[in-house]
Amino acid sequence: MDPGADPVPRSGENGESTSESLPYFQQEQPERYDAEQVLDGEVMENQWGRYFLSERFYPGHQRHGDYEIAKLAALPGEWLGAISRGEIPPYDPSRWAFLDTETTGLAGGAGTCAFLVGVGTIEDGGFRVRLFFMRDYDEEAAMLAALAEFLQWRDVLITYNGKTYDVPLLETRYRLARKPFPFGRLHHLDLLHGARQLWKLRMESCKLTHLECEVLGFLREGDLPGELIPYYYFEYLRTRQAFRLVPLFPHNVIDIV
């Protein structure tokens, strides 16, 4: 103990303090920053409220692993029929939507929300990813409405394990929000099924990250593990420190590209 420090207050016989009470020291709270102050994007508004929208654009000459983005834009519509065994008509690539979600839990269920929905489209000779994000639960309705409006201009939905996870989860959220489900009219191509047919016997795993590395030559560096994403979002909701969201957006973009 510092010999020059004030003596610790002692209690009297009845518990009353015999000296002035110690001052209450409260830890200073860090300044709060919301998504629009930290992330590239803007707050959007529709009749249901507000949500946050961010965009990333990959020009055709940019490489993703061993391949240029332009190769994706150059895919013929007939590719859909070939990989889906004739189930999907040959829609033009401009009508395709690549979708992935980040959610509040990996198990699914009615209590699980998709707080971030990324949609990639082939346009302007490159690949654009739009990220629909709800900064809090009260923005879910607006985010879902904006997503549905955007998808009305697409005919084909392309996912990776989306038939099992992403689409059923979103269907539940639209139902709970009492909104029309926008995916029912879309032709759905789940690339996981095709990947298993092509590489199940040759690859040790058909996980997206493994195929990215082995097939595309793309290695994720500094990427946030998927199982930590719900924790980061909950920490953002608790602290309103938007820097916790920074790793989430690139993770979603990479899942789509």
Tens of pLDDT, residue by residue, the chain (257 residues)? 444 444 434 334 344 443 444 333 344 445 566 788 888 899 999 999 999 999 999 998 887 766 788 888 888 888 888 888 888 998 999 999 999 999 998 766 678 999 999 999 999 889 999 999 999 999 999 999 999 999 999 999 999 999 999 999 999 999 999 999 999 999 999 988 877 776 666 767 667 666 666 566 666 777 788 889 999 999 999 998 888 898 899 888 888 88
Is residue 141 domain-resident? yes
The pLDDT assigned to 220 comes to 72
Domain contains 17: no
Judge whether 138 lies within some domain.
yes
The pLDDT value recorded for residue 38 is 84
Taking Cα atoms as reference points, which of 68, 82, 46, 63 lies closest to residue 191? Answer: 82
Rg of the Cα atoms in the chain: 24
Q: Please check whether residue 23 lies inside any domain of the structure.
A: no
- Which residues make beta-bridge pairs with 130? 55, 119
Per-residue pLDDT, 206 = 63
What pLDDT, on a 0 to 100 scale, did the predictor assign at position 186? Answer: 96
pLDDT of residue 179: 94
Which residue segment(s) compose the domain that 220 sits in?
A: 36-256
C-beta separation of 119 from 98 below 8 A: yes
**CATH code of residue 93:** 3.30.420.10
Smallest Cα–Cα separation from 191: which of 183, 201, 181, 199? Answer: 199
Domain count, the chain: 1
Alpha-carbon distance of 254 to 226, in angstroms, equals 12
pLDDT score at 21: 40
- Based on the number of CB atoms within 10 Å of its own CB, is 17 exposed (0-12), middle (13-18) or buried (19 or more)? exposed
Please name the amino acid found at residue 22.
L
User: What angle in degrees, to the nearest 10, is found between the helix axes of 167-176 and 140-151?
Assistant: 120
CA angle 49, 178, 101 (to 5 degrees): 70
Cβ-based neighbours of 113, under 8 Å, separated by 6 or more: 103, 104, 134, 137, 140, 173
pLDDT value at residue 145: 98
pLDDT of residue 12: 40
In a domain, 2, yes or no: no
Q: How many CB atoms lie within 10 A of CB 61?
A: 10
Residue 7 lies in a domain: no
24 found inside a domain: no
Helices and strands in the chain: count of H runs, count of E runs: 9, 9
DSSP class of residue 115 equals E
**Is 11 inside a domain boundary?**
no
Contact 45, 142 (CB under 8 A): yes
